[in-house]
Amino acid sequence: MLLRLFAITAAFGLALGTPASASSQAADPLETQTRAIIARFDTALRACGVTPPYVPGVVIDSTPSLVSFYTDDRSVHQSRWAEMPAELQGMLGGWAAAGTLGLTPEGQFAEIFNSLLVPHELGHFVASFDGRLEREDSWTNEVLANRIAIAFWAEDTEASTPIADRVENFNVFLSQLPSPVPAGEDPHAYFESNYEALSNDAAAYGWYQGAFMRTAWAEHEGVSFCDLVKPDAG
């Protein structure tokens, strides 16, 4: 099963070409960085009294979802900026220009997909082994994954930029997209009832990705990482 935040083929109508064939590379920087985040996340889980069934691996394959957690191979899948098509790199140029951290397009890509969202995917990992992934609907699981990511970064001693600044940088581009929710409709209910249509509409799905993060941020005060990753957390 593919658990995703950004499915670029659905959300932005872009198709990635065939990634470069994987080769054994010693000390690949992207793999090393991702494994380090996973290791810190695992340590944080265990400090909360949560023992995961395994520690996720890392696969660098530049798939259309850019950063994902797959239950079938128990790995976080990552993407390289250099393997992104020109259309996607151009989109990130606009995202970086609108962003609040003063990053280059490549830096914005790395900040979002190679860093900020890794614990989001690990939030899906937690939900996959404690039952919430099957028990809750799509909106709830996306918001939960963002809440876990926010709480992780807020407590992570290696993070160099405050999480509030990182969330603002993430949201500023997506918040500019028009809301696809009809007047009087509840965004949550509308998403669940119209998921297929929304997932095939670039602007609509992008707006919802921002909505998931905005909702998670609005709920972050007074909630710790441990509160969110325990199996009985709501």
**Cα atoms in the Cβ-side hemisphere of radius 13 Å centred on 168:** 8
Q: Would you say residue 67 lies in a domain?
A: yes
In the chain, the number of structural domains is 1
Q: What is the pLDDT of residues 24-45, one digit of tens each?
A: 456 899 999 999 999 999 999 9
The span from the CA of 115 to the CA of 196, in Å, is 28
**What pLDDT is stored for residue 12 in this prediction?**
47
SS (H, E, C) 134-188: HHCCHHHHHHHHHHHHHHHHHHCCCCCCCHHHHHHHHHHHHCCCCCCCCCCCCHH
**What pLDDT is stored for residue 203 in this prediction?**
80
Q: Would you say residue 167 lies in a domain?
A: yes
Q: Would you say residue 234 lies in a domain?
A: no
Backbone torsions φ then ψ of 125, nearest 5 degrees: -55, -50
The span from the CA of 152 to the CA of 227, in Å, is 11
Q: Would you say residue 73 lies in a domain?
A: yes
Q: What is the pLDDT of residues 128-151, one digit of tens each?
A: 999 999 999 999 999 999 999 999
Residue 127: its H or E element: helix 118-130
Q: For the whole model, what pTM was predicted?
A: 0.87
Q: Would you say residue 208 lies in a domain?
A: yes
Full domain range(s) for residue 39? 2-229
